Amino acid sequence: MPVALLVVPLFLLLGAVLSGAPESGSEPGRQAADRQPIAEWPLPRVLAEISGLALTADGRLLAHNDEVARIFEIDFRRGAIVKSFGVGRPLLRGDFEGIAVAGDSIYLLASNGRVVAFREGKNAEEVEYRIRDPGLSPECEFEGIAFEPAANSLVLACKDTYRAADAGSLVLFRLPLSGAGGGRATRLSIPPGRIAGFGRSDGPSPTDLTIDAVSGHLVLVAARARLLIELTPAGEVVRAERLPSRHVQAEGIAISGGGGERFLIVSDESVQWRQATITVYRWP
């Protein structure tokens, strides 16, 4: 049975809004800081360290915490935990920083670049897993993963790079899911000058990324810089916008697929004075 969460009174009409009520000023080019949420759901303590977000093919939202491989399904339209299941028996532990869905497979990314693969489980189930190590731990601390269908690859985002030559750059890796290219990861590096407001010593440090299913663009969120960054698959910057001030520790991002109204979902982990939340906006 779904576990209801505390609803912010400002958004009691969420059901009507999500059913397609129009909003003025929702044109694609507006600044992220000007976006007004249509829902903001405080999360219970079990999700205080919520990190990555990912949507399944049928539009269900999955989330995870930082240190334990337990996956939660959250109904972002009602603000309820639908179910949770564990990865491994006993539960796998690690510094987990992102989640992605590709077909029937789910992937958790650890900060050292290792990828944990498993299938979705039923409520309270514990599922088996396998680990893939692409050997990228010397490159950076990773935080954020997404599935890119056009390349049949996982895209891994570097939060903090270790190489002096990468200082200030936004560095991504594509990890093929098939044998293309020998299965080895390829690098995409966006120099500091392409993202306004950052010098070589102060990169954007993304905390999660997702793929816009309609445009194929990569969309990243950066907690430290409070940025929303949109890139083409080739790495050209489409936008780099400030997040609304309500996002004090944005750790996850997901964008609903095509067909009708679409939504941007952002998760914030708990800070001393605020519960963890998921916030829903219209997209684009």
Return the pLDDT at 179: 65
Residue 246: other Cβ atoms inside 10 A: 13
Return the pLDDT at 116: 98
Under DSSP, is residue 122 helix (H, G, I), strand (E, B) or coil?
A: coil
What is the pTM (predicted TM-score) of this model?
0.88
What CATH topology corresponds to 50-255?
A: Neuraminidase (2.120.10)
- Residue 21, judged by CB atoms within 10 A of its CB (0-12, 13-18, 19+), counts as exposed
**Per-residue pLDDT tens over the stretch 104-162:** 999 999 999 999 999 999 999 999 999 999 999 999 999 999 999 999 999 999 999 99
Residue 93: other Cβ atoms inside 10 A: 11
Q: Report the distance separating Cα 217 and Cα 105, nearest Å.
A: 22
**Per-residue pLDDT tens over the stretch 25-63:** 333 334 666 789 999 999 999 999 999 999 999 999 999
198 band by pLDDT with thresholds 50, 70 and 90? low
Report the chain's mean pLDDT, rounded to a whole number: 87
**Per-residue pLDDT tens over the stretch 204-253:** 899 999 999 999 999 999 999 899 999 999 999 999 899 999 999 999 99
